[in-house]
Amino acid sequence: MIIATHAIARSNWLEHGLVEQARERFSMPITHVEVDAIRDESHVVATEPVERAAPARERHTQRDLAILGLAFVLAIGGSAVSAILYALGVSGWVLGVWVVVFDLGLKIAAAALIWIMFQRRARADRLDL
């Protein structure tokens, strides 16, 4: 099996410990190749395994919770303002414009934030290393 990664200085969190985890899991020989696309070169990395305390883990929990919190505030906030406007007896066309443009827009923005958050997540949760 051949595993190609970026050079250690350019690698992302997902690549840290990946080769060692693969060597622990699979009984076949594994060749590690570092690729430097900027310099258009690559080389085979020495095959000695490196001790790792734990497998690679994503470290964006706080960012993800902040994005989810913001999406929640946007979605619920638009509905709350709509309810307040309705309770105050705001005229039909003003309330209609608010609901269609702003309330719906805030919900679309909340959905877009959640979509972006999940698109930026690495796919380590789909690996069983």
Write out pLDDT tens, residues 24-41: 888 888 888 888 877 778
Q: Which of 58, 50, 61, 59 is nearest to 17 (CA)?
A: 50
Predicted pLDDT at 128: 44
Predicted pLDDT at 15: 64
Instruction: Kindly report, residue by residue over 65-111, the tens digit of the pLDDT.
Output: 888 888 888 888 888 888 898 889 888 888 888 888 888 888 898 88
Go through the chain and tell me how many residues it has. Answer: 129
- pTM for this predicted structure: 0.46
The Cα–Cα gap between 17 and 53 comes to 10
Cβ atoms of 121 and 60 within 8 Å: the answer is: yes
